[in-house]
Structures are given as structure tokens and as C-alpha cells.
Structure 1
Amino acid sequence: MTTTTKYFTPEEARRTLPLVRKIVQDILDTTREMRLIAEDLQGDFEEDARIKKLADEVNGFLKELEEIGCFYKDSNFQIGLVDFPALFDGREVYLCWRSDEDDILYYHEVDAGYQGRKKIPPQYFEGSLF
């Protein structure tokens, strides 16, 4: 079975934000709980059933984001970074959102990552230029 990439316009990505925000908060809360348990166990958490259960929950949340068409990109699970595939002037880019931001205002080239974020030009919110 092949999957095709869903490309978002800024407006489409914005419409998903309430759900994406909730899922990301669940990811951040659950991974925070995992870190606290791991600290209590002082490194002997490989076989801990609580950690495994929480890890399964996080994997479920990540799958939910992928089903929407976006991707969780915060490998440290601390800032809640999500990328939405988009087409910008004919090339693939990612609309980029952090959990502490109210709106999707940035994008970056596929190979640039978070450090390469740029403001989405205002005209791309007004029409079908994306």
C-alpha cells in the first residue's frame, strides 16, 4: 500500500491546529510523566511496565498526527514541534509550528529544518499561492 503526501495550505494547516495542539499537549504531558518515572527509577526503567504503557500512548499520539498528515519533529519531546508538508512556489516545504505559538506563521525548506524557519509571506494566507 502506498501513501501519498498530503500538502497543506496555511489555511488548511490552521484548521487542524485545535486538534494538533491537543495531541501535542498529550505527547508533552505523557513524555514528561515518563521522564519523572525514569528519574525515580534511577536508570533501571527498561522493563518498567508504566514506561512501556506510556511509550505506547506516545506512539499512538504520533500516529494520530501522521493520520492528519503532519509530523512531530521534536526529538527531545520538550517543545512540541510539528511540520505540515506544503508546496511553495512549486517546491516541497514544511509549514512549521511550535506548541508555544498561537498560529502557523513559519515555514522552512525540507532540508533546512527548524533553524531555517522563515515567516510565511502574508499573501500566502490570502489566496491559493501556496
Structure 2
Amino acid sequence: MDVFGAVSPAPKAGGQKLFTTDKARRALPLVRRIVKDIVASVELLAGVEEEFADARYESSAESLEALADRRQRVQDRLRELVDELSELGVLLKDSRCGLVDFPARYQNRVVYLCWRLGEENITHWHEVDAGFTGRQPIGPDFE
């Protein structure tokens, strides 16, 4: 798992959960909490990694072991959070800024409803291969 970038693989055709805009918006309070915890865990992990790098040559074995244990606990928690999102059918695209996609169907094709931590609601979508820069507003014809 790459905790500093995209961590959820694209879903395979056929077996993925698809969201309507309504279902995605109803799931958003839970998703928001999980994503907020993911972003906080990534920041914490970066700090622990920095401490570990700084301490490598100057600290005792016990101190390094304590840092390694702390790093492992944060990584385990991060893995649990990412798994929780995955079980919901939500794709984590960027763990640093809290960017996620909800697979959906629009005009007989799979697209992604796009949301980022800090946004009030799900208001945009994009093609599967377009990414964040290809976001378009969700119009009344979306469903």
C-alpha cells in the first residue's frame, strides 16, 4: 500500500458496487469521518518516519524499537481505515488530501462521483480515466 498516494486500485468490471448520487451523499458522513482519519494518520506517519530517519544514527536500540513499534501501529490503523473505505465500495485516490471516488453509472457507462475532504457535498463527477482535473458538475440529468 502506498500511503502517500493512490491506494485503491480501479474496480474490476462486473463486481463493483455502484452508487447513485443519493446513496453516495447518504454515505458521505461516514466516508468523511474515515477520510479525515486517513489524512490525519498519513500526517502522523510522515512525522514518525521523519523522527525515525533522524534517530537512526543517534538513538539507542530501545528508542529505535519504540519508534518502529509506533510506526507499525500507525500503518496498521491506516490499513484498517483504507479497508473500511474499500468495504463501502469507495475508492481512495489521494490519502494526503482526502480525495475519493464513488463508482456510479451515467449514460450506460461507469464514471466516478468525486469528493475531496473539505467539500460540503458531492457535486462533481468525472470519467474513469479523467481524474480530478476532468471533474464536471453533476447536472439534473445525472441519474
- What TM-score, normalized to structure 2? 0.78
The partner residue of 2:138 within 110, 117, 120 is 120
- Structure 2 distance, partners of 1:12, 1:120, is 14
Name whichever of 31-40 and 19-28 sits farther off.
Answer: 31-40
- Structure 2 distance, partners of 1:8, 1:48, is 39
RMSD: 1.9
Cα displacement string for residues 79-129 of structure 1 (whole angstroms, at most 9, x for unaligned residues): 1001000000001100000001000001110111111111111343xxxx2
Give the alignment of 1:1-130 within 5 angstroms.
Answer: 4-42=15-53, 44=56, 48-74=68-94, 77-124=95-142, 129=143
CA contact (8 A) 1:28 1:78 kept: yes
Letter of the 1:52 counterpart? Q
Identity over aligned pairs, percent: 41
Task: Note the C-alpha offset of 1:10.
Answer: 0.5
Letter of the 1:86 counterpart? A
- Which 5+ residue runs of structure 2 have no aligned equivalent? 1-11, 57-63
SS of the equivalent of 2:111 reads strand
Relative contact order, higher structure (CA 8 A, sep 6+): 2
Runs of 4+ in 1 over 6 A off after TM superposition: none
